[in-house]
Amino acid sequence: MGKTALVIDDNANNLLLEKDVLEVAGFEVFIAENATKGISLAREKRPGIIIMDMRLPDMRGSDAAKQLLLYPETRDIPVVFVTASVLAEGIEEIRTIPNAVFISKPINTRTFAKEVTQFMK
């Protein structure tokens, strides 16, 4: 079975770029432009990893990650936050969530897929 990833980002360009880079690296990629759609897609598709923006239109990325923890089918999926925020508060927020890491924006297209793969089990 091939590698699968879910990318949740409300910025269409980011979504497209991350999807492209991951697909080039051999991932099957699902996309969602908000947290609600992302969570239901995650429960349906059970991707190997979820890549999520911290700021989403309907809720904060960290809150979405906490919701994913509520469902047995999504509880163990690792989450990579892609964040442009470099303030300490944002980093602290991520530390409270198990199974989550962050990659700071802008992403390095040459290493992004490799980094993401590292976080998968």
Partner 1 sequence: MREPLIALDQDLRVISVSRSFYDFFKVKPEETVGQLIYDLGNKQWNIPKLRELLETILPQKTTFDNYEVEHDFATIGRRIMLLNARQIQRVSGQELIILLAIEDITERREIEIGLEKTRRELEKIKLAENEAREYAESIIDTIREPLIALNQDLRVVTASRSFYEVFKAKPEETVGQLIYDLGNKQWNIPKLRELLETILPLKTSFDNYEVEHDFATIGRRIMLLNARQIQRMSGKPRIILLVIEDITKRREIENGLGKAHEELEALAAELKRTARAKSEFLANMSHELRTPLNSINGFSEVLFDETFGPLNDKQKKYVNNVLISGKHLLMLINQILDMAKVEAGKMKLTLSHLPMKALLSEMVLLVADMAEKKKLEMRVEISDDLPDIDADELRVKEIIYNLLSNAVKFTPEGGHIGIRAVGTGEAIAIEVWDTGVGIALENMDKIFEGFFRVDTPYSRLTEGTGLGLPLSRKMVELHGGVLSVESKGLDQGTAIRFTLPVHSNRGA
92: its two tokens: 């602290």
Environment class of 22 (CB within 10 Å of its CB; exposed 0-12, middle 13-18, buried 19+) = buried
Q: Does 41 bind partner 1 (CB under 8 A)?
A: no
Query: Strand order in 28-32's β-sheet?
Result: 28-32, 4-8, 49-53, 79-83, 100-104
Query: Taking contact as CB under 8 A, which single stretch among the options 17-25, 33-41, 59-67, 70-78 is the one that binds partner 1?
Result: 17-25
Query: Taking contact as CB under 8 A, which single stretch among the options 11-19, 27-35, 43-51, 65-73 is the one that binds partner 1?
Result: 11-19
**Which is closer to partner 1, CB of 98 or CB of 106?**
106
Residues that bind partner 1 (CB under 8 A): 11, 13-14, 17, 20-21, 24, 55, 84-88, 105-110
